[in-house]
Amino acid sequence: MEKNKVILLTGAAGFIGSYLLGYLNKQGYKNIIIVDDFSEEDKWFNFDSKDFIAKVEREELFDWLKREEPEIDFVFHLGARTDTTEFDYTIHEKLNVEYSKNIWNYCTERNIPLVYASSAATYGGGELGYKDDHGLVERLHPLNPYGVSKNEFDKWVLQQTEGHTASHPPFWAGLKFFNVYGPNEYHKGRMASVIFHSFNQIKSTGKVKLFRSHRPDFKDGQQLRDFIYVEDVAKVCYWLMEHTIISGLYNLGTGKARTFEDLVKATFAGIGKEPAIEYIDIPEDIRDKYQYFTEADMNKLRNAGYKDSFYTLEEGVGDYVKKFLLLRNYY
């Protein structure tokens, strides 16, 4: 059944945004305004077969909104510069902070609920843990300019929601995405998930190269991440649109860290091959910014009422490899 709600979705040509677009279509939502930099041809397959009512270039969005004055019911702001190896902060500041402030202010002025993408990169080395507590945000020390930009916007958001001068949308949620993987990341190059790179290495060489540990407390391949399948990310985004919960920052991972070795073994299993793993040094330019452990504290979202289980690593990787990577399918 088609649903009438008009949704604005930024980052719609990207990995998570295009998946969410397809997911919303499957739930009956077709009145979607998609926003992105649509100049990259290798992203076209992410969205070209999906349903939407308008396609707006990222740089033209606010002029377009002023001119067209659409009646928007909900905004998903997933557009961002996500390259953690881009060290020019001015690029991240423009796209991840200033642009996001404009989205926030637009939603505030027009009373539109907003879900936006934050990141687990805000937690830095994890010295303060991985709890989505508003009181920790000012004390976090992200390890790269991308993480800094995401945390700067979170800090600004919290300033907008406090005191007698509070100015915010009727509902808002900033989602701290952990390590998201899944279909529609073919265009991402170096920034694609380890599963994507592992799959391609197995197909071309029969083995996978993983980063060696440069810390005595972690064995090679035992570095831990909270890997979350993009289907679960889309489900949570959709659930937030459909349910009224307390506004705030929310972690979005599975709550269970897994090793890179586990991940690679699951990739080999999806292809039907025996694991063959080699270890290489972490490149010098990212070695001091490398996270050895991330794990989302998911109590806040659970306590807010989200009950669905998350894909296990084996389930998610198996689904991704068999339904998408082996067939070069898009979602």
Catalytic residue list contains 116: no
* Tokens of residue 276, six digits: 């063959």
Q: How far apart are CA 269 and CA 255, in angstroms?
A: 23
Q: Which residues of 261-280 are buried (b: 16+ CB within 10 A; e: fewer)?
A: bbbbbbbbbbeeeeeebeee
Q: Where are the alpha helices (DSSP H) in 27-129?
A: 44-47, 61-68, 89-92, 99-110
Looking at 123, 130, 146, 229, which residue is catalytic? 146
Catalytic residue list contains 3: no
Of 122, 72, 112, 114, whose CA–CA distance to 92 is shortest? 122
Beta strands in 204-247 (DSSP E): 208-211, 224-225, 227-229
Of 170, 7, 31, 10, whose CA–CA distance to 102 is shortest? 10
Beta strands in the chain (DSSP E): 7-10, 32-36, 54-57, 74-77, 114-119, 172-177, 179-181, 208-211, 224-225, 227-229, 248-252, 258-259, 277-280
Looking at 55, 188, 207, 289, which residue is catalytic? 188
- Just list the catalytic residues: 146, 188
